């Protein structure tokens, strides 16, 4: 008895409701600690209902990360808009990336730190064609600009971009992951690695 619920706008809204509940839980407790049953309970539906809207748990996660990383790309673009030159633009982009990762540890973790663990199985994950890729491309073109302007040593753009990426990913993941470790203040560490790398790659 009583199946149809007095939900505001049915149909498409339940999909959003699931997504919202899952996002909140993932961000608060981490992907592994959140079960489908928990998500279902929170929105007052049976666990299997989720499977009517999403293929499996990892697809839920993927959708959430997709939108989260639009935000990352947007934040990078926005921070770069205030730049005074190509090098400052690059620097701002790098720092924004790090800050984003530090402010959204669970999202960052899911997409950049352990995608293997999370996105295995049926729907295999590829970095290519989505998510973090756009953010990385922004970095690549920023590097190219700097080289063209002669403020960064000319060379393999891909190699240089990946070198930067390694650096900023390193700080972010390290600080997020090793709670107990006595890191120096994270903003100091962030600027240290960014400025060190820029200095090391100047002409």
Give the footprint of DNA on this chain (CB under 7 A): 1-5, 7, 10-11, 14, 34-38, 44-49, 51-52, 56-58, 121-122
C-beta closer to a copy of itself: residue 104 or 160: 160
DSSP 168: H
Contact map string, positions 3 to 42, toward a copy of itself, x by CB under 8 A:
---------------------------x-x----------
Cα(108)–Cα(124) distance, integer angstroms: 19
Give yes or no for residue 46 binding a copy of itself (CB under 8 A): no
Q: Is the dihedral of CA 171, 172, 178, 183 positive or negative?
A: positive
Size of site (CB under 8 A) for a copy of itself:
46
Residues 6+ apart with CB under 8 A from 195: 91
From a copy of itself, DNA, none, which one binds at residue 42 (CB under 5 to 8 Å depending on kind)? Answer: none
**Cβ 85 to a copy of itself shortest distance, Å:** 19
| Integer angstrom CA distances of residue 9 from 5, 64, 94, 135, 150 | 10, 21, 41, 34, 56
Whether the Cβ atoms of residue 60 and residue 22 lie closer than 8 Å to each other: yes
3-state secondary structure of 147: helix
Instruction: Please identify, among the stretches 47-55, 56-64, 76-84, 173-181, the one whose residues bind a copy of itself according to the rule CB under 8 A.
Output: 173-181
Q: Is 91 in the site for a copy of itself (CB under 8 A)?
A: no
Number of helical H runs and strand E runs in the chain: 9, 0
Q: Contact residues for a copy of itself (CB under 8 A)? A: 30, 32, 109, 112-117, 126-128, 156, 158-160, 162-163, 165-171, 173-174, 177-184, 188-189, 192-193, 195-201
């Amino acid at each position: 008895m009583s199946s149809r619920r007095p939900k505001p706008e049915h149909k498409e809204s339940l999909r959003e409701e699931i997504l919202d509940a899952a996002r909140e839980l993932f961000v608060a407790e981490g992907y592994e600690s959140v079960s489908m049953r928990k998500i279902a309970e929170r929105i007052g539906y049976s666990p299997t209902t989720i499977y009517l809207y999403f293929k499996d748990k990892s697809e839920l996660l993927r959708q959430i990360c997709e939108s989260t990383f639009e935000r990352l790309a947007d934040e990078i673009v926005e921070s770069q808009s205030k730049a005074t030159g190509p090098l400052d633009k690059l620097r701002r982009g790098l720092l924004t990336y790090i800050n984003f990762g530090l402010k959204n540890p669970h999202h960052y973790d899911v997409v950049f730190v352990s995608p293997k663990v999370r996105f295995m199985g049926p729907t295999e994950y590829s970095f290519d064609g989505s998510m973090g890729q756009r953010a990385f491309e922004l970095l690549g073109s920023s590097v190219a600009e700097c080289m063209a302007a002669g403020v960064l040593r000319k060379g393999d753009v891909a190699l240089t971009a990946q070198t930067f990426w390694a650096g900023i990913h390193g700080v972010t993941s390290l600080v997020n992951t090793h709670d107990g470790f006595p890191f120096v203040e994270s903003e100091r560490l962030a600027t240290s690695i960014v400025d060190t790398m820029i200095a090391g790659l100047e002409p």
